[in-house]
């Protein structure tokens, strides 16, 4: 569901940048007052795990499309909404800058659709009400699945609205909406099941962690080293190995665009801002589309083995960059609190 710049006008892109930047600034200020030594590595590890998980596209039977985890509800449950938004923002920045996954102009839209909506709308207004004060068992699973379904309806709806208000593409509102919502309903169901499985594992391994986001327990004083190591290993394995068997079908957004327009690749307008950001992304992204850069003449002759090496390297490097970025960001927030 990563939007490309071809869908977003400078006005809409700039507005969503401002909205998302405001949400990130607010979250940072809240975390600066409450961040602790254990929350910092957890935020980094879960962000790295999400980066790897988003590389795994799973096929949606009968559609020819695929989807991947958004991760917003997962991180909000484990980290709380403020740390979750910062972690998702870090993942999206790494994806856009170094792997050309999602546009730079559309980055504010992507942060809002995949971060702000689950962390600040679905998590507090739906998940917490459904889960109650002591979630567990069937009730916890139900709350997670419903929250994932709602998130994967609100996010795509926001994509359709942002595209409509941008007015750059020939995507009729009603037709685009009717293509986007059903396929993301299926993606949301898979995300809900996977998220419930991950949360259940954490609940069994470290049940105290479920209380962190709810803020009904004391500060984290229990050891989490083994859990952190497990998620780091899972992230490296997922990004470096499991990503090789990810579905090659277009994701839900690309599939919907193809069904409406006949092509998944929309041409970006020739505005100065679009061209500038495209040039920046082309220079900075050293593994575009999670693969090695190839000269045009050799694209057809590139071997599958070389492509696999590029994907594995992208997964491992992306996990490492995300982990370091988020740990540094958390450390800076903690340092900022100490200086107050």
Beta bridge partners of 59: 66
Query: What is the pLDDT, as a whole number, of residue 1?
Result: 84
Which residues of the chain register pLDDT less than 50?
211-222, 297-298
What percent helix, strand, coil does the chain show, rounded to 5?
75, 0, 25
CA angle 329, 332, 333 (to 5 degrees): 90
Query: What is the pLDDT, as a whole number, of residue 144?
Result: 96
Cα 21 from Cα 312, distance rounded (Å): 32
Query: What is the pLDDT, as a whole number, of residue 308?
Result: 84
Query: Among all chains, which residue has been given the structure tokens 């370091």?
Result: 324
Cα 93 from Cα 99, distance rounded (Å): 10
Q: DSSP letter at 122?
A: I
**Interacting residues of 223 by C-beta distance below 8 A, sequence separation 6+:** none
Query: What is the pLDDT, as a whole number, of residue 115?
Result: 97
Structure tokens at 159: 């994509």
Structural domain spans, the chain: 5-249+284-292+303-338
Query: Among all chains, which residue has been given the structure tokens 């938004």?
Result: 85
Dihedral, CA of residue 92, residue 188, residue 83 and residue 78, to nearest 10? -140
* Chain centre distance of CA 129: 24
CATH topology (fold) of 5-249+284-292+303-338: Arp2/3 complex 21 kDa subunit ARPC3 (1.10.1760)
Prediction pTM value: 0.92
pLDDT tens digit string along 219-269?
A: 444 467 888 999 999 999 999 999 999 999 999 999 999 999 988 788 888
Of 251, 98, 127, give the one whose Cα is nearest residue 196.
Answer: 127
Contact yes or no for 47/90 (Cβ under 8 A): yes
φ/ψ of residue 264, rounded to 5:
-85, -20
Q: Per residue in 9-20, is it b (16+ CB within 10 Å) or e — as a string? A: bbebbebbbeeb
Query: What is the pLDDT, as a whole number, of residue 74?
Result: 96
Where is 60: in which H helix or E strand?
A: strand 58-60
Query: What is the pLDDT, as a whole number, of residue 221?
Result: 42
């Amino acid at each position: 569901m990563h939007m490309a710049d071809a869908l977003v006008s400078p006005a809409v892109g700039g507005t969503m940048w401002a909205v998302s930047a405001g949400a990130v600034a607010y979250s940072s200020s809240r975390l600066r007052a409450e961040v602790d030594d254990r929350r910092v590595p957890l935020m980094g590890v879960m962000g790295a795990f999400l980066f790897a998980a988003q590389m795994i596209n799973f096929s949606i039977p009968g559609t020819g499309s695929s989807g991947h985890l958004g991760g917003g509800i997962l991180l909000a449950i484990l980290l709380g909404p403020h740390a979750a938004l910062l972690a998702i923002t870090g993942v999206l920045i790494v994806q856009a800058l170094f792997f050309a996954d999602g546009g730079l102009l559309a980055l504010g839209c992507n942060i809002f659709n995949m971060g702000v909506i689950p962390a600040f709308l679905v998590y507090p207004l739906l998940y917490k009400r459904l889960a109650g004060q002591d979630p567990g068992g069937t009730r916890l699973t139900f709350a997670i699945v419903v929250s994932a379904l709602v998130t994967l309806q609100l996010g795509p709806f926001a994509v359709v609205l942002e595209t409509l208000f941008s007015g750059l593409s020939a995507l009729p509102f009603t037709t685009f909406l009717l293509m986007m919502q059903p396929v993301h309903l299926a993606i949301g169901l898979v995300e809900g099941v996977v998220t419930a499985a991950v949360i259940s594992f954490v609940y069994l391994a470290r049940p105290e962690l479920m209380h962190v986001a709810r803020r009904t327990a004391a500060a984290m004083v229990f050891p989490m080293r083994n859990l952190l190591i497990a998620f780091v290993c899972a992230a490296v394995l997922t990004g470096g190995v499991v990503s090789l068997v990810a579905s090659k079908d277009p994701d839900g957004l690309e599939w919907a665009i193809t069904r409406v327009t006949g092509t998944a690749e929309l041409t970006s307008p020739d505005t100065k801002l679009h061209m500038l950001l495209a040039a920046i992304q082309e220079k900075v992204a050293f593994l575009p589309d999670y693969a090695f850069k190839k000269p045009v003449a050799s694209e057809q002759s590139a071997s599958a083995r070389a492509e696999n090496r590029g994907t594995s390297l992208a997964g491992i490097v992306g996990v490492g960059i995300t982990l370091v970025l988020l740990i540094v960001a958390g450390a800076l927030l903690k340092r900022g609190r100490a200086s107050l």
